[in-house]
Amino acid sequence: MNLKEAVAVVTGGASGIGETVATYFASNGARVVIGDVVQESIDRVVGEITAAGGRVVGLKTDVTKDADVAALMDAAVSTFGAINVVVPCAGIIRDGVMINTDRETGKVKRVMETDQFRAVVEVNLVGSFITLREAARRMVDNNWRGVLFTISSVNKVGQVGQINYSSTKAAVAIWPRILAGEFQMKGIKGIRVVSVAPGYVGTPMVRGMNQDALNEILKDVHIGRLIEPEEIARAIAMVVENEAFDGTCLEITGGVTYGARSIAK
């Protein structure tokens, strides 16, 4: 599938990776639909893409709400006549350890509250489920071909301090196997399912981190720098244009080599 033929729905499209995917797709001829919770950021991104000659609409969408996501998909269909590519970039982090102890007494000082766990699951996991389901039901009924993505992370391997986030990213990484299998079982041939698992990407969130912590992280990255959001967008575009990618999770990490330094010592 060529980007020029595609209608792409991008959630979390008003910032970071989602914004770059939306902009890259639009600049390569795709028609783009952006959903996000921040209206003024949606307006900014839609304005910038439109000013550059791209075709785009944006709709305030909370991916945890079925009705919002259904309205986003309906907007794609009513504006551009189809849905072909779905990139659910809406995501949040609420980092912390499950049990935090007092340095002096060794006793439990704080725990990760259930709401802190649940909030991340709601957006990253339930939100991705609703997004893919609402897109897929319309694509199947109308015989629209395309690709459903999930956005995993290198932290799917289990990052300390991220029991909530890593759990969601491990889960969405296995969805391509499940959904490509279900589509195969049902004779649905035209819809591929692919996960992308980025490493550390230079989005505002990551660039705004404590610089010492960031420099420490980069020591474990073989290319020695943050990945540019456009490198993720180009990888997603490559998957759209190459039908051989299906039912799999593609890691784009810049060579994250946890442990290599300690072994070398």
Which residues here bind ligand NAD, judged by CB under 6 A?
11-12, 14-18, 36-38, 41, 61-64, 89-92, 123-124, 127, 151, 153, 198, 200-201, 203-206
Closest CA to 19 of 203, 208, 255: 203
In this structure, are strands 99-101 and 31-36 parallel, antiparallel, or unpaired? Answer: unpaired
Buried b (16+ CB within 10 A) or exposed e, 48-79: ebeeeebebbbbbbbbbeeebbbbbbebbbee
State how far the Cα of 212 lies from the Cα of 245, in Å rounded to an integer.
37
Question: Which residue has tokens 């033929």?
Answer: 5
Q: Is 165 a catalytic site residue?
A: yes
- State the nearest-atom distance from the C-beta of 106 to ligand NAD, in Å: 33
- Residue of closest CB approach to ligand NAD: 16
- State the nearest-atom distance from the C-beta of 227 to ligand NAD, in Å: 7
State how far the Cα of 133 lies from the Cα of 9, in Å rounded to an integer.
13
Catalytic machinery residues:
165
